[in-house]
Homo-oligomer: A and B are copies of this chain.
Amino acid sequence: MHFTVPPVSLLDRVRVVLCQPSHPGNIGAAARAMKTMGLSRLALVQPMRFPDAEADALASGATDILGAVTLHENLDDALAGCIFAIGLSARSRELVGEILSAREAAVEAMRQAGQGEVALVFGTEMSGLTNDELARCQSLAMIPANPAYSSLNLAAAVQVMCYEIRMAAGENRVPCAPAFPLASQDAIELLYRHAARTLVALDFLNPQRPKRLLPRLRRLFARTRLEHEEVNILRGILASVDAVIAREKAKEKGGNC
C-alpha cells in the first residue's frame, strides 16, 4: 500500500552552520537573512555569545529561528545526518577538491537535497573556515567578489548564499505588474488619426511636408504597448486641444474684442 506523503520543501532540507561566530549581532542578522529566503534551520558551533540580546535585536522578526537554534561542540556534530556539506570561503585552499561559484553550489545543493539533508558551512568572521573544518565539506563555494576587497560581512554572505539556494529551488517568482486591458489595434489607429488631425489643426504638422513626425510617434507608442484606458486619456487630451482651437477660431470670427 502506498500513501501520499506531503511534499517536503527542499528548503527545509538545508541547514546553515556557523562555526564559532564572534558577534551575536551576526547570528541574529544571519537568522533574518535565512528567514527572508525561507530557510529555518540554524546550527551554531561554539558561538562566543549565545543567546544574546544583540542577536535578538538583529534578527528582527526572525527570533523563531534563534529559538530553534541547535548548539554543537564541533562541526562533525553539527553536520550529523547530512549527506552533503558546502564550505563557504573567500579564498582558495591547497587541498580542496572542487571550487564552485555560489550559484553553482546552490544548484548542486538543491540536487543533493533531493536525496537528503545538506549544509552550508560558514567560518568565523575574522579568518573563515579552518582547513580542518573545510576538510569536512565536499565542496568549497566562493561568492564572486571584487578581488581587491572580497570581505563580505558574515550575515551578508549568508544572505547571498540563501538567496541563491532559494533561486535554485525554483522559488524565483516575483509578482506580475498589475495588468490593465490593452488597447485594440483599431482603437490605436483611431488615436493616430485623431492625433494627426489635431496636430494639423495646431499647425504643428504640415500635411504637405509631414517629415517623420507621425512615424516617430508611432514608434514611441509601439514600444509602450498602449492600454485601453491610456488611449482614452490621450484622446481626451486631444479633444481638449481640439476644443481650445475651436474656441479660438470662434473668437476670431466673433470680432476683435
CB distance from A41 to the nearest CB of B (A): 14
Total copies of the chain? 2
Residues B29 and A153 in contact, CB atoms below 8 Å apart:
yes
Residues B149 and A36 in contact, CB atoms below 8 Å apart:
yes
Contact of A160 among B60, B160, B173 (CB under 8 A): B160
Stretch at the interface among A139-147, A183-191, A198-206: A139-147
Enumerate chain B residues within 8 angstroms of A140, measured Cβ to Cβ: 177
Number of contact residues on A: which range applies?
Answer: 35 or more
Nearest CB to that of A92 among chain B residues? Answer: B175
CB distance from A216 to the nearest CB of B (A): 19
Enumerate chain B residues within 8 angstroms of A62, measured Cβ to Cβ: 149
Interface string of A151-173 (1 = CB under 8 A from B): 11101100110010011000111
Given A61-B151, A151-B60, A156-B155, are A172 and B36 also a contact pair (CB < 8 Å)? no
Enumerate chain B residues within 8 angstroms of A60, measured Cβ to Cβ: 151, 153
- Report the Cα distance A37→B173, complex, angstroms: 24
CB distance from A51 to the nearest CB of B (A): 20
Given A94-B178, A153-B29, are A146 and B35 also a contact pair (CB < 8 Å)? yes
CB distance from A62 to the nearest CB of B (A): 7
- Report the Cα distance A146→B166, complex, angstroms: 9
Most buried by B among A153, A156, A160, A175: A156
Residues B177 and A146 in contact, CB atoms below 8 Å apart:
no
Given A166-B144, A172-B144, A174-B144, are A35 and B149 also a contact pair (CB < 8 Å)? yes
